[in-house]
């Protein structure tokens, strides 16, 4: 009864908010939790299979890929697709899938959860599989440091001792979570992709004994084929093993004899796909079906989304921490065409109020002959302008805009063949709307 009331109130609240133009994706969840605090437990009782995705970067893509795989089989999924992953967001995903009185007729739930809240959610629902994508430094002013993140993940995983744990073998920080745990499946890329790995920043030291790790090769950040000479901790051989990886405008790879063509690019999407592969396979989905689902994957907002504006391809990407920003910068440079770049930085609570992280990202690489123009926008545009200036870019080349629309238009009218738009978290939905509108207008 309480659950029905909670869901009704939540749906009313959502409808009311929409009429005044507010689209907070976790609002209905927050409302429902107030009325029925253990609503997640009650929803979980109605769902046959639950899988969860944790980790710093790639949760939304991995979770969406997994949901797409299930839906490709004709199964219906509860999924917090946009990426609202705090308590309210997770609850909102169920409410969205529920009838007005709160009954759910979906047979699987695919949920991404923020690491700080995972231990709470996992006390209410019992997933059959949990994937952890990676651990990178993220919003420092929320979490303090990477040790905290790993600790939060560890505490969360202890709540689900029976779940199959799917871990990124190539990330020593993530792989360390599997030590001493049975029922673990590792995924990874088992070849040196010859990448320019950039800085490691975190995770250089063995989590078990503190010795600096040695690498046969690094893919990016602290990911690669590592070994600790101190205690022998090393990259586990992945059961879900990606090989013959091809990176270009679209990525592809083979995994355990099955070929996968991804409709998206970037090494991190190969990792995301491998995570989704392992998660779906642990639920009994056949490999060919997984490959088909991945092949049809339509990325979520701001994950290398492409728009055509003024005749130019505009590539839109989210970057919310140094690792993600470095990957976005890598994408910009991997594209040999000339381009104009728009970077938008907010400092709302969900972004992290501290913009120091900008100095940990390798923007210096954007000082490249193929980059013709630089536009900055967002609440902390001026900080981003300073950041670019200290990459030896003349101030005259850095255009500062209050309006995201004006920033994009300036870039579209620039000298480059393409435009890359990179924004952080709270700019995501509004920027996507603007890009969509500009695309419509220029048709």
Partner 1 sequence: MTLTIAHLYPDLLNLYGDIGNVKTIVKRCQWRGIDVCTVPIVGDEKIRFDRIDLAVLGGGSDREQLLVRDKLLARKRELAAYVEDGGAVLAVCGGYQLLGSWYKTKEETIEGLQILDVQTETGDGRLIGNVVIENDAFGTIVGFENHGGRTFINGHTPLGRVLAGCGNNGQDGTEGVIWRNVVATYLHGSLLPKNPRLCDHIIRSMLLRRGVSEELAPLDDTLELEAHRYIEERTLRRK
Under 8 Å between Cβ of 351 and 424: yes
Residue 208 makes contact with partner 1 by CB under 8 A: no
Residue 386 binds partner 1 (CB under 8 A): yes
365 lines the binding site for partner 1 (CB under 8 A): no
Q: Are 61 and 303 in contact (CB under 8 A)?
A: yes
Q: In this structure, which long-range contacts are made by residues 204-211, counting pairs with CB atoms below 8 Å and at least 24 apart in sequence?
A: 206/172, 206/230, 206/231, 206/233, 207/150, 207/172, 207/173, 207/176, 207/233, 208/176, 208/179, 208/233, 209/233
Residue 282 forms beta bridges with which residues?
none
Q: How far apart are the C-alpha atoms of 157 and 131, rounded to whole Å?
A: 10
Concatenating the DSSP letter of every residue in 281-311 gives: HHTT--HHHHHHHHHT----TTEEEEEEETT
Structure tokens at 60: 């939304």
**Nearest approach, Cβ of 380 to partner 1 (angstroms)?**
8
Q: Are strands 223-227 and 214-220 parallel, antiparallel or unpaired?
A: antiparallel
Between 332 and 361, how does the x/- string for binding to partner 1 read (CB under 8 A)? ---------------------xxxxxxxx-
Number of residues that bind partner 1 (CB under 8 A): 28
* Interface stretch with partner 1, choices 105-113, 123-131, 378-386, 413-421 (CB under 8 A): 378-386
Burial of 385-405, coded b for 16+ CB within 10 Å and e otherwise, reads bebbeeeebeeeebbebeebb
Q: Does residue 382 belong to the site contacting partner 1 (CB under 8 A)?
A: yes
Which residues within the stretch 210-229 sit at the binding site for partner 1 (CB under 8 A)?
Answer: 210
Nearer to partner 1, 196 or 356 (CB): 356
Q: Does 204 bind partner 1 (CB under 8 A)?
A: yes
Smallest distance from partner 1 to CB 211, Å: 12
Place of tokens 């250089």: 204
By CB under 8 A, is residue 145 in contact with partner 1? Answer: yes
By CB under 8 A, residue 362 contacts partner 1: no
Residue in this structure with the two tokens 């981003």, named with its chain if needed: 384
- Binding string, 88-127, against partner 1, x = CB under 8 A? ----------------------------------------
Among residues 38, 261, 349, 354, which one is catalytic?
354
Indicate whether 392 belongs to the interface with partner 1 (CB under 8 A). yes
With CB under 8 A as the contact rule, the residue among 18, 37, 100, 147 that binds partner 1 is 147
CB 54 within 8 A of CB 119: no
Q: In this complex, which beta carbon is closest to partner 1, that of residue 357 or of residue 425?
A: 357
Smallest distance, partner 1 to C-beta of residue 210, A: 8
- Of the candidates 401, 394, 265, 386, which has an alpha carbon nearest to the alpha carbon of residue 342? 401
Taking contact as CB under 8 A, which single stretch among the options 87-95, 114-122, 156-164, 387-395 is the one that binds partner 1? Answer: 387-395
Annotated catalytic residue 354: yes
Assign 188 to helix, strand or coil.
Answer: strand
Closest CB 291 distance from partner 1, rounded Å: 40
24 phi, psi to nearest 5 deg? -65, 120
In this chain, which stretch among 164-172, 246-254, 312-320, 391-399 interacts with partner 1, using CB under 8 A?
Answer: 391-399
If the CB atoms of residues 28 and 344 are measured against partner 1, the closer one turns out to be: 344
Q: Are the C-beta atoms of residues 377 and 404 closer than 8 Å to each other?
A: yes
Residue 236 φ/ψ, nearest 5 degrees: -70, 145
Q: Which of 232, 349, 395, 402 binds partner 1 (CB under 8 A)?
A: 395
Q: Check residue 389 for interaction with partner 1 (CB under 8 A).
A: yes
Asked whether 341 and 412 are in contact (CB, 8 A), the reply is no
Q: Which is nearer to partner 1, 357 or 401 (CB)?
A: 357
Strand partners, 47: none
Nearest distance from C-beta of residue 398 to partner 1, angstroms: 7
Tell me the two tokens of residue 115: 């690491």
Q: Which stretch binds partner 1 (CB under 8 A): 14-22, 88-96, 105-113, 140-148?
A: 140-148
In the complex, the smallest distance separating the C-beta of residue 231 from partner 1, rounded to whole angstroms, is 16
Q: Which is nearer to partner 1, 137 or 235 (CB)?
A: 137
Specify the 3-state DSSP secondary structure of 374. Answer: strand
Task: Return d(Cα 425, Cα 152) in angstroms, integer.
Answer: 21
Helical H runs in 133-171?
140-143, 146-158
Q: Is 173 in the site for partner 1 (CB under 8 A)?
A: no
Q: Which residues are catalytic?
A: 354
Catalog residues that contact partner 1 under the rule CB under 8 A.
Answer: 137, 140-141, 144-147, 201, 204, 210, 353-360, 382-383, 385-387, 389-390, 392, 395, 398
């Amino acid at each position: 009864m309480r659950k029905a009331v909670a869901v009704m109130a939540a749906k009313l609240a959502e409808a009311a908010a929409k009429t005044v133009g507010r689209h907070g994706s976790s609002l209905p969840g927050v409302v429902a939790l107030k009325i029925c605090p253990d609503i997640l437990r009650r929803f979980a009782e109605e769902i046959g299979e639950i899988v969860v995705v944790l980790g710093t970067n790639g949760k939304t893509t991995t979770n969406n890929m997994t949901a797409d795989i299930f839906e490709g089989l004709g199964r219906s999924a509860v999924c917090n697709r946009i990426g609202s992953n705090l308590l309210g967001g997770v609850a909102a995903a169920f409410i969205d899938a529920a009838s007005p009185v709160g009954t759910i007729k979906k047979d699987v739930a695919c949920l991404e959860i923020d690491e700080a809240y995972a231990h709470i959610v996992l006390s209410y629902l019992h997933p059959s599989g949990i994937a952890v994508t990676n651990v990178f430094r993220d919003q420092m002013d929320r979490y303090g440091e990477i040790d905290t993140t790993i600790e939060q993940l560890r505490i969360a995983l202890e709540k689900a001792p029976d779940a199959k744990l799917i871990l990124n073998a190539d990330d020593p920080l993530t792989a360390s979570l599997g030590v001493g745990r049975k029922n673990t499946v590792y995924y990874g890329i088992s070849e040196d992709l010859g990448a320019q790995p950039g800085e490691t920043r975190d995770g250089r030291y063995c989590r078990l004994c503190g010795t600096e790790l040695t690498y046969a090769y690094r893919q990016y950040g602290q990911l690669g084929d590592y070994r600790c000479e101190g205690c022998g901790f090393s990259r586990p051989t992945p059961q879900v093993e990606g090989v013959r990886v091809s990176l270009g405008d679209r990525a592809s790879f083979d995994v355990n004899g099955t070929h996968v063509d991804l409709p998206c690019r970037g090494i991190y999407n190969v990792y995301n796909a491998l995570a989704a592969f392992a998660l779906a396979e642990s639920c009994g989905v056949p490999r060919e079906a997984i490959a088909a689902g991945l092949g049809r994957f339509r990325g979520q907002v701001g994950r290398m989304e492409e728009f055509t504006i003024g005749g130019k391809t505009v590539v839109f990407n989210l970057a919310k921490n140094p690792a993600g920003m470095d990957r976005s910068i890598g994408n910009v440079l991997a594209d040999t065409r000339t381009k104009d770049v728009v970077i938008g930085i907010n400092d709302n609570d969900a972004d992290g109020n501290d913009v120091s992280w900008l100095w940990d990202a390798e923007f210096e690489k954007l000082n490249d002959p193929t980059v013709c123009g630089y536009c900055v926008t967002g609440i902390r545009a001026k900080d981003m302008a300073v950041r670019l200036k200290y990459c030896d870019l003349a101030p005259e080349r850095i255009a500062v805009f209050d309006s995201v629309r004006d920033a994009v238009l300036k870039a579209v009218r620039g000298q480059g063949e393409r435009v890359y738009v990179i924004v952080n978290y709270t700019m995501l939905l509004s920027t996507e709307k603007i890009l969509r509108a500009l695309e419509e207008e220029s048709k």
